[in-house]
């Protein structure tokens, strides 16, 4: 892991991190059931945009990917695929129990147990599912982490690409997505 | 022109939930569409065979994320049918209240949901914030916003907190004022009319062919095919309500029916508040002993109720042990989400694809399980 | 042409960017209010743009890159020719033709770049965007030609100047109400505001042309978008709403016009692209032709009302 | 309501070769049908008002070495459910599709194939995967499939014991 | 059907431009997140003082999120484990089933719901009263009567009504199958009972076997640790029920009656098969056992199952010791005693009855004859009471009476001589056994009851079980509890009564036995016969003096090693009352332990 307390960013990177922190676009991808608390977070009641966050339609534009709960292997392939499409710096926030140790589906044949084996996670939120307040707080935390230059999961992914790939292949057999589904 | 293959989802803003439709388009017209479910497959049916009858309570709400309560109800009802348990009168009324609140919540969200594909985001923002007030009420009754785990086999989990009926009544007053604003903004909007009217049709024979239930079915057949009327469960036979129907099913009709059902739910809730027994037990045990060792007599039963999207059923097989032998889930959106897409998304425009999902009510987690 | 012209041009460019981005940020708050919430900080739009510029980028071939540069170049060039309250970087070159021609370069650059990304959503988006352009451009051009006919000049600043002096009554939007309506509606189409935003509809085609842009490309696209908005709003403001006698008046009118467009678009769903074309050819086109006929044959609205 | 159900049951009994009847509730009954008679039964039931196919599913009766196919039909007019059951061989699970009677069966059968490995003759798409992707084990809803084992093999779990052990006597959160 | 179009209706939305937004204020989201509702299922808290470490929460947890972690700093007490639930927020689904089922009412949920971290370890925590962030958050979801998941009420056991006193019919009727299934379903399988039971019986396992209606399996579980299940199913002191985790808030499981259900209802073939299934191939080694009481029988059975040749010496005609001669018939019918002993006989244990070690054969001879000797002679003598008049011939002791009565009921002896008016001194279970036996004999002989009791302890601290007191009084015993005997009043060489004084205190400041009386409150209980039941003591006459020198005997009990081995006499093992005090289940446990010890000893010797 990158040493977190050591702040060896230069001025440009610090300014860059300031902008990154205050304008986080999340990817519009509801991977699991935690996504049901995202509409309230995004919309008027909790108004995520106050933090400068907003949903973005495509992975290319997004800064943060929210893994909202369990991931079936089928989804994980897409998640990895679109995570790699995202532009650096990029962050992952994992929601709820399922991403940490499998959650309710710990013995399921279709869902993974530990997310951080496959993609680097910057922040976990406890709860099943986390309330919008918890989600908002997580975003605030993420912002301060980015400001301090501590959200370096993407760098970790680059540096340990082999390790991540191996884990991905171990669990998924293939990471490539097949779309010849019906015909 | 060559057909282009497009993926509507799983990572697509027009797709609600983690679901995918592969579309082969010619220009803007969909020539062929194939649903791709399974992104949310967790193997519920297998996992439920490995949990205690009571332990499954933690699992079942998660089958359908947007409307968890129907799962609890249908599971509890099935077990009660197997165990031949009569639950207390008050529990029936509380269940009905929870179910109607849930229906209210999902219908409001669905009403706002048409704002997404059509671009009327203001409506979405309003509606979801409004729904949150219902979730607050849920939190007070059940202890959680989304996964309530409140309707349990044998009744409901706890007594209602004090003063909750008054709060509900106030909320209903507020909704009766606020919901018509959605009509002003949305349903009366000329452009919404343009986009929804005579569009995304659902003919009656298709309903029977595919097996679509719920609003889709009622909007096409002009019959009150609502399990609440046809096979009343809980105490739906003791409250008055109408089932809005139509004989011409375009997207606008379906949205309008949804709008009207909101007011029917409010009407039911008002009657529940009035007629609910003030005193009384709310739970009986389905079996003797501690929950670790509750047994359900052997047998099989199909328990079904009316969800916001149609007939929602569990087929439960028990072999008399502490765990279910087999549970099969009939997600209400199974027909419209799979065969419905394959057959009837054809010749729609790309623009309408996500509206189709919206107005038909396709809930991906219950298809995938 | 001197160095000073270029300095002025640069100043306009910078001012236009800052001004428009601020107005956009302000309008995000206005939008939020309609949606019953508080919304982002007023300078959020700046943060978004700089954030995007800071990110890493990926290229999808040189057309993709070149298209962005070309679009940005075209648009920046256009901004320089926009007269702002009588203040021009290159006097006497603010010809409507030049502006619309340069604007088209920007549009085409975007289209080229988006198509170069190879994403089918982008292709659909581009085709929609061009269809959309065709839809609003015909009525708008008819009205603008009418204006040129009426005022006998193609200079934007002159047209703007001619509307001043009679207060609100001097505005072309009042003098030629049908033309004003057409221009106002066309402004929605130009800005890609609802109901005419089907080419970037996120829920339908995943932001269309923008789908493959990320990082710096996206940052440039944002800058481009701000500048383009400035051009389009300024053009309509100058041609139909009397421009501005001073920078302040201009800025206020600009802000009001843009906010009006925004709050209207917030209560609008979007048309499908075919419906948008049908709409433009049914209402604004007819209005534009009537307006043209009225001006040419009756001469109403040319000098004064009636 | 009980009456109409009794009438229907009587009718069904008269027309079809019903092996076994079971009243489940006053709106629901089950009939066991021979493997060969299911199509006739479904056609007949459809003709008397059971127009909607609610679900096709399967139960793995591993003790009897059988699969039990379940067809649940819904009669909206009378508000009745009927559960049609038939047993098929578990070792060579294959059956004939009912898509020609209920087109909606297409995906249900495909799912049964995926979860239990029952093949349906005449439903070409039933052999394709539906919910799973790159599946490499026996069909998962069979009783002899243990998801825990599969999960342990494929998806590593965190060693919670180790984490707890490090906490005892140590810092509590 | 559908709404009409309206061009200007949507514009009404603009009114919200100037209205206050519905958005929750920043402070309520970030600084102090909104307080959740009163029922909110947030993070856990656990009151360690209340928690007994039963692990029921871990059993119900549908997500396997709770594991029980041993906390070294906690003491192990009866009815408490030194484990505490630890939560894995990588699993928890916040269903609160753990809260609903918590037997000790210690696990609760708070209103706290925000926990964010990059550090995965922080999602694993062992909750205490302070919760996850050590902040003592407000309580959220708690269990109440409605959400209760336990069954706190026992299945009522049917008893014979008061007419039972007319005969020695067994009082407790036993569970029917439905009752036993219902009772067994209450168990939460915490295993605290196993830890408390001296014999460490596999209680949760056999209760589960009952629940699964697998009686043969249940018998197998019983015989793993207790070969006297028929006896223990009836008259065990059931320490387990005192420790039962359900007893914290409700009624303990009727473990004893369930055990009895097993032994009474298992078909005899299954029973025999299960019992004999433990017997292994014979091995080289002979063990002699002195005394066929519970510990002797237990040692004999386990040694036999290990393959040793076992001889049991019994001074009386029938083996069993206290179980054959001590317990009253109405609690412990002859048939069940004989079933246990018969089973042990069937395993091949050789009983040598009517042979008193010390007189008929000496311990030295046994030492020569056997590789090891187990001493399980029990407390066979009554402790005498030295008050004036206690040397009268009509002053009788408990043990002879009980033994004679058993013999009388077997038909091998005449009826004990019971007077019309009797008084029993003592307040323990044995005293009640005596009193109630006397009462039945009186009815048989005279047709009416006149039995009085006197004990130092008053009703509140009576050593006997409450049900003994209740049933005894129901049958007609007149008790003077809290009145200590001063003298047996003898007039004309005939006992006329027992003079008692009110007891002020039993123990002095040093907690030594030293009763103090209030002489002003005293009276005479009329009786012509006095029975003394104030305790038993061992009879060590077979142990020679030089052996006695080598062993350590403290207050009548032999000090042994862990497995019953006497320290300086490695061939000698002891168990039962003479090691642990009067209790059948302790005897069984000692016997089992000693069997293990003997096996170890013989194996090491044979090497």
- Note the pLDDT tens digit of each residue in E82-121: 888 888 888 888 888 888 888 888 888 888 888 888 888 7
**D160 within a domain of the structure (yes/no):** no
Identify whether D78 is part of a domain: yes
Q: Which residue of A has its CA nearest to E93?
A: A128
The mean pLDDT of A1-14, rounded to a whole number, is 65
- Show residues of chain D in contact with A172, CB under 8 Å: 134
What are the tens digits of pLDDT across the range A43-100? 888 888 888 888 888 888 888 888 888 888 888 888 888 888 888 888 888 888 888 8
Position D166 scores a pLDDT of 58
Task: Assess if residue D144 is contained within a domain.
Answer: no
Sign of the torsion formed by the C-alpha atoms of B290, E177, B87 and B74 = positive
Distance (Å, whole) CA C269 – CA C198: 10
Q: Could E22 and C37 be called an inter-chain contact, meaning their C-beta atoms sit closer than 8 Å?
A: yes
Question: Would the CB atoms of D24 and B43 count as touching at under 8 Å?
Answer: no
What's the gap between Cα C82 and its chain centre?
12
Domains recognised in chain B with CATH numbers? 42-368 (1.10.645.10)
* CA gap D59, D62 in Å, rounded: 9
User: A123 is in which domain, residue-wise?
Assistant: 26-172
List beta partners, residue A177: none
Predicted confidence (pLDDT) at residue E9 exceeds the cutoff of 80: no
What is the mean pLDDT of the segment spanning E330-337? Answer: 82
Q: How far apart are CA A136 and CA A134, in angstroms?
A: 5
pLDDT at D173 over 50: no
Window 125-144 of D: residues touching A by CB (8 A cutoff) are: 125, 128-129, 131-134, 136-137, 140
Domain assignment of residue D24, yes or no:
yes
| pTM of the shown model | 0.87
How many structural domains are present in chain C? 1
Q: Are strands E565-566 and E557-558 parallel, antiparallel or unpaired?
A: unpaired
Question: Angle at the Cα of B120 (from B118 to B123), degrees rounded to 5?
Answer: 125
Query: Cα Rg for chain E, rounded, in angstroms?
Result: 31
- How many domains does one find in chain D? 1
Neighbours of B, requiring at least 3 CB pairs below 8 Å, are A, C, D, E
Contact between chain C and chain D (3 or more Cβ pairs less than 8 Å apart): no
- Which pLDDT tens digits describe chain B residue by residue (369 residues)? 567 777 777 877 777 778 888 888 887 788 888 888 888 888 888 888 888 888 888 888 888 888 888 888 899 888 888 888 888 888 889 888 888 888 888 888 888 888 888 888 888 888 888 888 888 888 888 888 888 888 888 888 888 888 888 888 888 898 888 888 888 888 888 888 888 888 888 888 888 888 888 888 888 888 888 888 888 888 888 888 888 888 888 888 888 888 888 888 999 988 988 888 888 888 888 888 888 888 888 888 998 888 888 888 899 998 888 888 988 888 888 888 888 888 878 878 887 888 877 887 788 888 887
Pairing of strands E286-290, E372-375: parallel
The pLDDT of residue D170: 37
Place of tokens 């230059």: A149
Kind plus residue range of the DSSP H or E element containing B265: helix B251-275
Segment B18-77, tens digit of pLDDT: 888 888 888 778 888 888 888 888 888 888 888 888 888 888 888 888 888 888 889 988
Nearest chain A residue to B62, by CA: A33
Hey, is E152 helix, strand or coil? coil
Q: For chain D, what is the largest distance between any 2 Cα atoms, rounded to a whole number of angstroms?
A: 75
CATH number at residue D82: 3.30.460.80
Residues 6+ apart with CB under 8 A from C228: C75, C103, C106
At E99 the three-state DSSP class reads: helix
* b/e per residue A103-137 (b: at least 16 CB within 10 A): bbbbbbbbbbbbbbbbbbbbbbbbbbbbbbbbbbb
D148 burial via Cβ count (<10 Å: 0-12, 13-18, 19+) = middle
**Is there a contact between E16 and C34 if contact means CB atoms under 8 Å apart?**
yes
The 3-state DSSP class for residue B57 equals helix
Answer for the pair E408, E438: CB distance below 8 angstroms, yes or no: no
What residues contact B228, with CB distance under 8 A and at least 6 apart?
B236, B241, B243, B305, B306
- A-chain CB neighbours of B59 within 8 Å are 104
Chains with ≥3 Cβ pairs under 8 A against D?
A, B, E
What CATH number should be reported for the domain holding residue A91? 3.40.50.12280
Q: Say whether residue D162 is in contact with chain A using an 8 A CB cutoff.
A: no
From B6, B120, B349, residue closest to C269, measured CB to CB: B120
**Closest chain A CA to residue C57:** A87
- Listed in sequence order, the DSSP H helices in E411-557 are 429-446, 466-475, 545-550
Assigned architecture for domain E393-418+427-523: 3-Layer(bba) Sandwich (3.50)
Which pLDDT score, from 0 to 100, does residue D2 have?
Answer: 58
Find chain A residues with C-beta within 8 A of D134's C-beta. Answer: 73, 172-174, 178
Task: Point out which residues pair with A91 in neighbouring strands.
Answer: A64
Residue labelled with tokens 């006329």? E496
Q: Are B13 and C203 in contact (CB under 8 A)?
A: yes
Which domain range does residue D115 map to? 2-130
Q: Is residue D113 part of a domain?
A: yes
Which residues of chain B make contact with A29, given a CB cutoff of 8 A?
10-11, 18
Q: What is the mean pLDDT of residues E320-341?
A: 81
- Residue D165 pLDDT greater than 70, yes or no: no
Name the residue among E103, E106, E102, E98 with its Cα closest to residue E45. Answer: E106
Predicted pLDDT at D172: 44
Give the Cα separation of B185 and B157 in Å (integer): 40
Chain A CA closest to residue C212: A60
Instruction: Give the Cα separation of B206 and B23 in Å (integer).
Output: 20
pLDDT score for C305: 47
Does residue D106 lie within any of the structural domains? yes
Say whether E117 and A124 touch across the interface (CB within 8 A). yes
Region E235-254: mean pLDDT is: 83
The secondary structure element, H or E, covering residue C292 is helix C284-293
Yes or no, beta carbons of B191 and C205 under 8 Å apart:
no
More confident residue, E78 or E111: E111
**pLDDT value of residue C238:** 83
Which member of A16, A52, A59 has the closest CB to residue C41? A52
Question: D168: which chain E residues are within 8 Å (Cβ-Cβ)?
Answer: 69-72, 126
CA angle C12, C13, C14 (to 5 degrees): 95
Mean predicted lDDT score pLDDT of chain C: 82
Contact criterion met (CB below 8 Å) for E72 and E53: no
Mean pLDDT of D77-81: 85
> Are E263 and E341 spatial neighbours (Cβ–Cβ below 8 Å)?
no
Distances (CA, A) of B4 to B7, B354, C260, D108, E40: 10, 18, 39, 29, 50
Q: Which pLDDT score is estimated for D1?
A: 55
pLDDT in tens, A102-152: 888 888 888 888 888 888 888 888 888 888 888 888 888 888 888 888 888
Q: What DSSP string describes A129-176?
A: SPPHHHHHHHHHHHHHHHHTT---HHHHHHHTHHHHHHHHHHHHS--S
* Integer CA distances (angstroms), E5 to B190, C34, E472, in order: 5, 22, 89
pLDDT-derived band at A6, boundaries 50, 70, 90: low
Residue matched to tokens 């009163």: E38
Do A106 and A78 form a contact (C-beta atoms < 8 A)?
Answer: no
pLDDT (0 to 100) of residue E2: 62
In 3D, which of C40, C102, C42, C48 has the Cα closest to residue C71?
Answer: C102
Residue B313 and residue B366 in contact, taking contact as beta carbons nearer than 8 Å? no
Cα–Cα separations (whole angstroms), residue B157 to B204, B234, D75, E65, E147: 41, 16, 33, 22, 5
Question: How many contacts (CB atoms, under 8 Å) link A and E?
Answer: 99
CA distance E88 to B114: 39
H/E stretch holding A20 reads helix A11-22
- At the second CATH level, the architecture of E29-149 is 2-Layer Sandwich (3.30)
Is E168:E329 a contact under the CB 8 Å cutoff? yes
Instruction: Please name the member of E67, E120, E133 whose beta carbon is closest to the beta carbon of D164.
Output: E67
- Which pLDDT belongs to residue D169? 40
CB contact under 8 A, E9 and B256: no
Query: Of B62, D138, B42, which is closest to residue A110 (Cα–Cα)?
Result: B42
* Among chain A residues, CA nearest to B58: A104
Query: For all residues of chain E together, what is the average pLDDT?
Result: 82
CA distance A112 to chain D (A): 6
Residue ranges of chain A whose CB lies within 8 Å of a chain E CB: 44-47, 50, 97, 99-104, 106-107, 116, 121-128, 130-131, 133-134, 136-138, 140-141, 145, 150
List of residues 6+ apart from E3 with CB closer than 8 A: B183, B187, B188, B256
Residue of B nearest to D128 (CA): B36
Respond yes or no on whether the N-terminal peptide bond of residue C195 is cis (omega within 30° of 0).
yes
Which pLDDT score is estimated for D159? 73
Collapsing DSSP to helix, strand or coil, B231 comes out as coil
The answer to whether position C305 is within a domain reads no
Tokens 């299945």 belong to residue: E155
User: Which 8-state DSSP code applies to residue E31?
Assistant: I
Q: Which chain B residue is nearest to residue C200, measuring alpha carbons? A: B119
* Bridge partners, residue E574, by sequence: E375
CA-wise closest residue to E335 among E223, E233, E436: E233
* Burial class of B33 by CB neighbour count within 10 A (0 to 12, 13 to 18, 19+): buried
Confidence band, pLDDT 50/70/90 cuts, at residue A2? very low
Asked if residue E251 lies in contact with residue E153, where contact means CB atoms within 8 angstroms, the answer is yes
Among candidate residues B351, B352, B357, the one with its CA nearest the CA of residue B336: B357
**What average pLDDT does this structure show over E484-488?**
81
Q: Which residues of C touch B354 (CB under 8 A)?
A: 203-204
Judged by DSSP in three states, E280 sits in coil
Residue D95 has a pLDDT of: 86
B128 to A29: CB separation less than 8 angstroms, yes or no: no
CA distance A149 to chain B (A): 29
The verdict on E182 touching B (C-beta cutoff 8 Å) is yes
Mutate which of D114, D115, D133, D157 to disrupt the A interface (most A C-beta within 10 Å)? D133
Q: How far apart are CA E564 and CA E590, in angstroms?
A: 7
Structural domain containing residue C260: 3-298
Whether C263 sits inside 8 A of E14 (CB atoms) is yes
What are the pLDDT tens digits along chain C (306 aa)? 677 778 888 888 888 888 888 988 888 888 888 888 888 888 888 888 888 888 888 777 778 888 888 888 888 888 888 887 777 777 777 777 877 777 778 778 888 887 777 778 888 888 888 888 888 888 888 888 888 887 777 787 777 777 776 777 677 777 788 888 888 888 888 888 888 888 777 777 777 777 778 788 888 888 888 888 888 888 888 888 877 778 888 888 888 889 988 888 888 888 888 888 888 888 888 888 888 888 877 777 666 544
- What was the pLDDT predicted at A178? 63
d(CA A142, CA A83): 18
Long-range contacts (CB closer than 8 Å, 24 or more residues apart) made by E388-394: E388/E486, E388/E487, E388/E488, E389/E487, E389/E488, E389/E489, E389/E490, E389/E495, E390/E488, E390/E530, E390/E532, E392/E488, E392/E490, E392/E495, E392/E530, E394/E419, E394/E494, E394/E495, E394/E528, E394/E529, E394/E530
Q: What is the pairing mode between strands B151-152 and E107-109?
A: unpaired
CB-CB neighbors (< 8 A) of D164 in chain E: 67, 69, 86, 124, 126
């Amino acid at each position: 892991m990158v040493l977190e307390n050591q702040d060896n960013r230069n001025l440009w990177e610090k300014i860059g991190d300031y902008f990154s922190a205050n304008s986080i676009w999340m990817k519009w991808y509801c991977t699991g059931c935690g996504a049901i608390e995202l509409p309230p977070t995004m919309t008027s009641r909790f108004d995520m945009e106050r933090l400068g966050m907003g949903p973005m339609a495509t992975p290319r534009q997004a800064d943060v990917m929210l893994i909202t709960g369990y991931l079936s292997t089928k989804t994980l392939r897409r998640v990895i695929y679109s995570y790699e499409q995202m532009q650096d710096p990029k962050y992952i926030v994992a929601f709820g129990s399922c991403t940490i140790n499998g959650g309710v589906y710990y013995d399921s044949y279709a869902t993974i147990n530990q997310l951080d084996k496959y993609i680097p996670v910057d922040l976990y939120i406890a709860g099943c599912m986390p309330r919008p307040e918890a989600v908002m707080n997580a975003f605030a935390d993420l912002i301060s982490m980015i400001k301090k230059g501590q959200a370096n999961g993407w760098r970790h992914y680059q540096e340990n690409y082999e390790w991540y790939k191996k884990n991905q292949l171990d669990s998924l057999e293939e990471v490539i997505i097949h779309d010849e589904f019906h015909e | 022109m060559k057909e282009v293959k497009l993926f509507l989802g799983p990572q697509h803003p027009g797709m609600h939930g983690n679901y995918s439709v592969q579309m082969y388009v010619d220009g803007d017209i969909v020539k062929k569409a194939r649903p791709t479910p399974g992104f949310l497959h967790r193997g519920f049916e297998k996992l439920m065979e490995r949990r205690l009858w009571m332990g499954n309570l933690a699992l079942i709400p998660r089958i359908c994320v947007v409307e968890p309560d129907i799962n609890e109800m249908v599971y509890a009802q099935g077990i009660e049918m197997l165990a031949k348990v009569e639950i207390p009168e008050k529990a029936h009324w509380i269940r009905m209240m929870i179910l109607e609140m849930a229906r209210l919540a999902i219908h409001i969200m669905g009403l706002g949901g048409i704002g997404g594909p059509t671009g009327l985001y203001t409506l979405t923002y309003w509606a979801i914030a409004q729904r949150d007030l219902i979730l607050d009420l849920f939190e007070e009754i059940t202890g959680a916003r989304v996964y309530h785990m409140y309707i349990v086999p044998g009744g409901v989990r706890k007594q209602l907190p004090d003063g909750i009926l008054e709060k509900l009544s106030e909320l209903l007053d507020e909704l009766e004022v606020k919901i018509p604003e959605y009509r002003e903004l949305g349903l009366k909007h000329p452009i919404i009319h343009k986009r929804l009217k005579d569009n995304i049709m659902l003919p009656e024979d298709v309903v029977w062919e595919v097996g679509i239930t719920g609003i889709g079915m009622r909007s096409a057949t002009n019959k009150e095919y609502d399990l609440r009327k046809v096979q009343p469960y809980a105490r739906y036979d003791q409250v008055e309500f109408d089932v809005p129907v139509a004989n011409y099913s375009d997207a606008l009709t379906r949205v309008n029916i949804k709008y009207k059902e909101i007011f029917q739910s409010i009407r039911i809730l008002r009657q529940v508040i009035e007629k609910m027994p003030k005193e009384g037990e709310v739970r009986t045990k389905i079996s003797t002993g501690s929950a670790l060792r509750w047994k359900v007599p052997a047998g099989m039963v199909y328990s079904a109720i009316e969800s916001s999207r149609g007939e929602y059923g569990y087929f439960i097989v028990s072999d008399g042990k502490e765990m279910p032998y087999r549970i099969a889930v009939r997600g209400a959106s199974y027909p419209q989400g799979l065969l419905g897409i394959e057959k009837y998304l054809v010749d729609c425009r790309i623009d309408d694809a996500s509206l189709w999902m919206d107005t038909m009510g396709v809930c991906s987690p219950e298809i995938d399980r | 042409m001197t160095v000073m012209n270029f300095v002025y041009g640069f100043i306009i460019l910078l001012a236009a960017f800052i001004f428009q981005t601020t107005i956009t940020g302000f309008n995000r708050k206005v939008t939020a209010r309609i949606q019953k919430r508080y919304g982002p900080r007023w300078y959020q739009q700046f943060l978004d743009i700089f954030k995007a510029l800071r990110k890493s980028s990926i290229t999808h071939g040189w057309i993709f890159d070149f298209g962005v540069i070309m679009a940005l170049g075209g648009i920046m060039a256009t901004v320089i020719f926009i007269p702002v309250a009588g203040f021009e970087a290159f006097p006497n070159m603010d010809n409507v033709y030049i502006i619309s021609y340069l604007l088209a370069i920007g549009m085409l650059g975007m289209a080229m770049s988006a198509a170069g990304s190879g994403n089918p959503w982008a292709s659909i988006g581009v085709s929609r965007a061009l269809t959309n352009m065709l839809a609003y451009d015909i009525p708008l051009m008819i009205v603008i030609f009418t204006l040129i006919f009426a005022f006998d000049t193609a200079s934007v600043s002159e047209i703007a100047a001619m509307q001043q002096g009679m207060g609100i009554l001097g505005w072309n939007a009042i003098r030629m109400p049908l033309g004003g309506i057409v221009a106002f509606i066309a402004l929605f189409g130009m800005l890609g505001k609802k109901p005419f935003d089907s080419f970037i509809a996120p829920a339908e085609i995943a932001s269309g042309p923008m789908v493959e842009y990320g990082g710096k490309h996206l940052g440039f696209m944002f800058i481009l978008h701000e500048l383009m908005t400035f051009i389009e709003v300024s053009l309509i403001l100058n041609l139909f709403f009397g421009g501005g006698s001073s920078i302040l008046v201009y800025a206020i009118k600009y802000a009001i016009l843009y906010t009006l467009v925004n709050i209207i678009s917030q209560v609008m769903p979007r048309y499908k692209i075919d419906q948008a074309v049908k709409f433009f050819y049914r209402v604004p086109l007819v209005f534009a032709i009537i307006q043209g006929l009225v001006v040419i044959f009756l001469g109403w609205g040319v000098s004064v009302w009636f | 309501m009980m009456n109409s159900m009794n009438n229907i049951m009587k009718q069904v009994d008269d027309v079809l070769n019903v092996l076994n009847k079971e009243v489940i509730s006053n709106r629901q009954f089950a009939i066991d049908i021979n493997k060969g008679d299911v199509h006739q039964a479904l056609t007949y039931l459809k003709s008397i008002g059971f127009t909607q196919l609610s679900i096709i599913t399967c139960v793995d009766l591993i003790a009897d070495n059988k699969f039990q196919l379940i067809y649940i039909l819904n009669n909206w007019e009378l508000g009745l459910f009927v559960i049609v059951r038939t047993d098929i061989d578990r070792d060579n699970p294959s059956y004939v599709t009912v898509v020609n009677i209920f087109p909606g069966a297409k995906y249900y059968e495909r799912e049964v194939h995926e979860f239990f490995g029952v093949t349906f003759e005449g439903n070409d798409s039933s052999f394709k995967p539906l919910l799973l992707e790159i599946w490499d084990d026996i069909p998962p809803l069979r009783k002899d499939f243990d998801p825990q084992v599969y999960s342990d093999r494929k998806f590593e779990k965190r060693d919670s014991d180790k984490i707890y052990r490090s906490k005892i006597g140590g810092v509590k959160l | 059907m559908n709404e009409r179009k309206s061009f200007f209706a949507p514009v009404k939305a603009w009114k919200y431009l100037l209205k206050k937004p519905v958005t929750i204020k920043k402070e309520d989201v970030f600084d102090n997140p909104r307080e959740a509702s009163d029922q909110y299922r947030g993070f856990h808290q656990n009151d360690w003082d209340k928690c007994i470490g039963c692990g029921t929460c871990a059993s119900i947890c549908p997500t396997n999120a709770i594991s029980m972690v041993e906390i070294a700093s906690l003491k192990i007490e009866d009815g408490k484990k030194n484990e505490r639930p630890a939560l894995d927020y990588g699993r928890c689904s916040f269903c609160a089933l753990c809260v609903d089922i918590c037997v000790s009412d210690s696990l609760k949920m708070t209103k706290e719901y925000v926990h964010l971290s990059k550090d995965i370890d922080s999602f694993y925590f062992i909750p205490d009263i302070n919760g996850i962030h050590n902040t003592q958050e407000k309580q959220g979801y708690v269990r109440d009567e409605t959400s209760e998941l336990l069954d706190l009420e026992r299945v009522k056991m049917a008893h014979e009504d008061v007419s039972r006193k007319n005969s020695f019919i067994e009082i407790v009727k036993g569970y029917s199958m439905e009752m036993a299934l219902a009772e067994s379903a209450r168990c939460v399988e915490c295993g605290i009972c196993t830890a408390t039971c001296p014999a460490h019986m596999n209680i949760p396992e056999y209760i589960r076997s009952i629940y699964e209606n697998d009686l043969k399996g249940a018998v197998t579980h019983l015989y793993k640790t207790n070969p006297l299940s028929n006896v223990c199913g009836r008259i065990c002191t059931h320490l387990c029920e005192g420790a039962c985790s359900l007893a914290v808030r409700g009624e303990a499981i009727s473990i004893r009656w369930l055990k009895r259900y097993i032994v009474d209802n298992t078909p005899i073939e299954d029973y025999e098969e299960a019992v004999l299934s433990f017997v292994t191939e014979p091995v080289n080694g002979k063990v002699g056992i002195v005394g066929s009481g519970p510990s002797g029988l237990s040692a004999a059975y386990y040694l036999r199952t290990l393959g040793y040749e076992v001889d049991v010496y019994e001074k009386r005609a029938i083996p069993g010791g206290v179980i054959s001669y001590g317990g009253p018939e109405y609690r412990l019918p002859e048939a069940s005693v004989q079933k246990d002993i018969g089973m042990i006989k069937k395993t091949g244990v050789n009983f040598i009855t009517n042979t008193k070690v010390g007189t008929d054969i000496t311990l030295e001879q046994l030492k020569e004859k056997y590789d090891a000797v187990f001493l399980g002679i029990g407390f066979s003598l009554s402790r005498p009471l030295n008050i004036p008049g206690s040397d009268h011939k009509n002053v009788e002791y408990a043990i002879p009476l009980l033994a004679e009565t058993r013999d009388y009921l077997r038909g091998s002896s005449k009826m004990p001589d019971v007077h019309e008016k009797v008084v029993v001194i003592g307040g323990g279970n044995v005293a009640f056994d005596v009193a109630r036996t006397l009462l039945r004999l009186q009815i048989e002989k005279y047709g009416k009851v006149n039995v009085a009791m006197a004990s130092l302890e008053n009703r509140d601290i009576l050593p006997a079980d409450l049900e003994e007191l209740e049933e005894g009084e129901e049958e007609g015993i007149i008790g003077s509890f809290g009145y200590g005997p001063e003298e047996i009043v003898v007039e004309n060489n005939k006992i006329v009564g027992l003079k008692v004084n009110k007891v002020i205190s039993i123990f002095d400041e040093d907690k030594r036995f030293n009763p103090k009386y209030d002489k002003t409150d005293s009276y005479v209980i009329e009786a012509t016969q006095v029975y003394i039941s104030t305790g038993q003591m061992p009879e060590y006459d077979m142990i020679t003096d030089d052996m006695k020198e080598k062993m350590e005997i403290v207050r009548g009990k032999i000090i042994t090693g862990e497995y019953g081995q006497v320290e300086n006499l490695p061939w000698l093992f002891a168990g039962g009352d003479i090691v642990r005090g009067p209790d059948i289940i302790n005897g069984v446990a000692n016997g089992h332990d000693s069997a293990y010890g003997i096996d170890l000893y013989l194996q090491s010797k044979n090497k």
